Amino acid sequence: MKVLFLGDIVGRSGRSAVAAHLPSLKAELGIDFTVVNGENLAAGFGLTQATCEEMFAAGVDVITTGNHVWDQRDIVPVISSDSRILRPLNFPAGTPGRGACRYSDGKGRSVVVINVMGRVFMEPLDDPFAAVAGELQRHLLGQGTDFLLIDVHGEATSEKMAMGHFADGRASLVVGTHSHVPTADAQILPQGTAYQTDAGMCGDYNSVIGMEKEEPLIRFTKKMASGRFTAAMGEGTMCGVFVETDDKTGLARAIHPVRLGGRLRPERP
């Protein structure tokens, strides 16, 4: 199976990059399923029904999120009813929505997507490793599950790497989000799980992690706020990872970084 995962989509620049590059890339590579992290879809803060529909129209199958998932309050009823939009699995019991779900690709194969949030330098949520362990027991790779993807939304590279090794051999892909910078460690772990510490963002890299530079610079240099953060609006780069798996085992045969458009050096499978 061929699956594409795209990192945090930041505002209009990120949405435009995905709309511009995703349809042709899907056709070129024969991509079977596409997952994106969309917690910054709406002007960099949260997501709305309209911005989600824009991504689905571009060819996205599932949207994962993270710590900004509730920034737009009108997303609550949407995320409660639309199984294509996930929130981190390790939110407390009773939180609206779901953190993992089973889907089908266009050929009837089973794809499980798990969205979890780290706790190091992040909000003190439930144990992400225990939450993922439960889902890995319910969805056995190669035994009714053809592809299993884990989006680890976290600040600490060590925590994301640990999750990769924790799920090695039991997931097709473990990929990190949140830091908005693509890492150079795309690899297949010893037991066959594809891994990259951070997929990077889809957005304008002439920025401070997707935000216009002026306000972050003022806050760093003067230790005071002068206004709100606003999403940068220049040409965006679409960043992510492309994974191809063995149909019998669900384990990875190849992982390739993806970078198209904007300021970063292009990279394609």
Q: How many Cα atoms sit within 13 Å of 173 on the Cβ side? A: 36
Q: How far apart are CA 161 and CA 152, in angstroms?
A: 9
- 222: helix, strand or coil: helix
Catalytic residue among 68, 139, 153, 180: 68
Q: How far apart are CA 72 and CA 141, in angstroms?
A: 35
Q: At what angle do helices 157-166 and 128-138 cross, to 10 degrees?
A: 30
Confirm whether 68 is a catalytic residue: yes
Q: How would you classify the pairing of strands 252-260 and 238-245?
A: antiparallel
In the chain, what is the straight-line distance between the N-terminal and C-terminal CA atoms, in Å? 15
Our CA dihedral for 63, 34, 199, 82, rounded to 10 degrees, sits at 10
Q: How far apart are CA 198 and CA 161, in angstroms?
A: 10
Query: If you count DSSP H runs as helices and E runs as strands, how many of each does the chain have, helices first?
Result: 6, 11
Q: Report the largest interatomic distance among the alpha carbons of the chain, rounded to a whole angstrom.
A: 57
Catalytic residue positions, numbered = 68
